[in-house]
Amino acid sequence: MANALRLGIIGLGRGFMLTLPALKADSRVALAGAFDLRREARERFADEFGAPAFDTLDALLYSPVIDAVYIATPHELHAEQAIAALRAGKHVLVEKPMATTLADCARIERAAADAGKVLVVGPSHGFDAPVQAAAQLVASGRFGAVRMVTALNFTDFMFRPRRPEELDSARGGGVVYSQAAHQIDVVRRLVGQPVSSVRAVAANWDSSRPSEGAYTALVTFEAGAAASLTYSGYAHYDSDELVGWIAELGYDKDPDRYGEARKRLATLSSQDEIEAKLKRTYGVPAVAADTPAPHHEHFGFIIVSCDRADLKLSPKGLSIYGDTERDFQPIEPPALPRKEVIDEFVGGCLGIRRPIHDGRWGLDTMACCVALLESSRRNTDVAPNQLLDTLSEKP
C-alpha cells in the first residue's frame, strides 16, 4: 500500500515474533527497518523484508523512511528508547510493561504529549477480542451495573527459559510487571471505571526463581465495583483447564504434557537457559513459523458479574448466565493473532480514532502494578492515584 505506515522494529525477540504475523499481513503497515543488538536477527530481517537493518538505534530513529516504531526490547530499555523515538518525531507502540518505574512511565507519557505523537502500550490481553466484546456488553448496561470481576490464571511463567533480568525484581522481573500488566489491563477494560485502591499479597516462595512468582489482589473501582485477581506462575496447577484446554496464545493444549516446563528447565545450566530463551526469538534457525492459532488468545479464567448476569469469557466467545436463561455468543475465530493492537495503533497514527491503550492508560495500569507490590510490602490498601500524585509532587 502506497501510504502504509512505515514501521521500524526495535528488538527482534519473542515479543516481536508474537506480533509479527499481524504486522506482516496488514497492508496498512510496511516493515521498513529494524534495530537489534543481535546480528543474526538484523540479517534475517533485512533478508525477509528487503528493508534496512540499522547498526544503531539513532540511525533507525532519525531515518526518513521510518514513521513509527514498535519497541519490543527488555522492559528496562522501554523508557529511554520510547522517549528517544518520540523526540525523534516517531509514533510509538511500546510493549508491556510500559517501563519498570512509575516515574519512567510518566516521562514517556509526557514525551508523547510534548511531541504530539501517538503512543500505544501493548499488546496486552486487554486487546483480546473476547475482552473487547465483554467490555462493550458491560458498557451497554444491558445487564445493569457491573459489580464484580473474578480473574485467575495459573501458568508456568516462572519456569519458562528466562533472561537473568526477568527474574530480578529490581529490574522489572517476576510476574507483577510482566503478567499483572495483562490482568490489570483486562479488568480495567471490563469494568471501565478508574481504580480506587489495591490490596494485595505478592509472593516470592521459590528461591530457585527468586522474584515474585504469584500474587492475589483485591482491586476496587470508583463506582463501587471490585475485582479479585489471582496469578501463579509456579508451574503447578494449569488454569487452561478452565478454558477448555486452550493455551494463552489460542492453541489447543494437551493436558497430558504435565510438568514439561519444570522438567525441561531442570536439565539446563544458567547459560543453557539463556540460549533456550534465545531459541524462541527471531533470526534463530530453530524457530519455525507457527501455524495460526484456531482460537482467540486469553488470560485465564474470567467472569464479570453484573446486576442481572454473569459473563464468562472464553477464547471462543462469551457465555451469558442471565436470571432465567443461559446463552453463548460465539466470537468469530481470529483472522490473525494480535490484529486488534495493530488496528488501534494504525488507527491512532492515521488519525482515524483515538487509542484506548494510550500513555495515560499505560501509566494507570503501571500505577496498579506498583500499588499491588506496595500493598504487599506495607500490608495495607494502596491507592494508585496517590502514587501518581506523589510522583507529580517530586521536582
Ligand X SMILES: NC(=O)c1ccc[n+]([C@@H]2O[C@H](COP(=O)([O-])OP(=O)(O)OC[C@H]3O[C@@H](n4cnc5c(N)ncnc54)[C@H](O)[C@@H]3O)[C@@H](O)[C@H]2O)c1
Interface residue list for ligand X (CB under 6 A)? 10-15, 18, 35-38, 41, 72-75, 77, 95-96, 123-124, 163, 178, 277, 281
Residue 381 Cβ, how far from ligand X at the closest point, in Å? 27
Rounded (10°) angle between helices 102-115 and 359-378: 170
Q: How many CB atoms lie within 10 A of CB 329?
A: 14
Q: Would you give the distance in Å from CA 47 to the centre of its chain?
A: 29
Instruction: Name the burial class of residue 211, with classes exposed (0-12), middle (13-18) and buried (19+) by CB atoms within 10 angstroms of its CB.
Output: buried
Give the integer Cα–Cα distance in Å for 337 and 335. Answer: 7
Q: Which amino acid is at 61?
A: L
Residue 185 vs 238, nearer CB to ligand X: 185
Residue 16 vs 143, nearer CB to ligand X: 16
Residue 36 Cβ, how far from ligand X at the closest point, in Å? 4
Residue 11 Cβ, how far from ligand X at the closest point, in Å? 3
- Set of cell numbers at residue 270: 544458567
Q: What per-residue string of b and e applies to 257-287 under the rule 16 or more CB within 10 Å gives b?
A: eeeebeeebeeeeeeebeebbbeebbbeeee
By three-state DSSP, how is residue 153 classified?
strand
Residue 143 Cβ, how far from ligand X at the closest point, in Å? 30
Nearest residue to the partner ligand X, using Cβ: 13
Residue 115 Cβ, how far from ligand X at the closest point, in Å? 21
Residue 12 vs 313, nearer CB to ligand X: 12
Give the integer Cα–Cα distance in Å for 181 and 183. Answer: 6
Residue 95 vs 109, nearer CB to ligand X: 95
Give the integer Cα–Cα distance in Å for 258 and 261. Answer: 8
Residue 58 vs 327, nearer CB to ligand X: 58
Residue 11 vs 311, nearer CB to ligand X: 11
Residue 57 Cβ, how far from ligand X at the closest point, in Å? 6
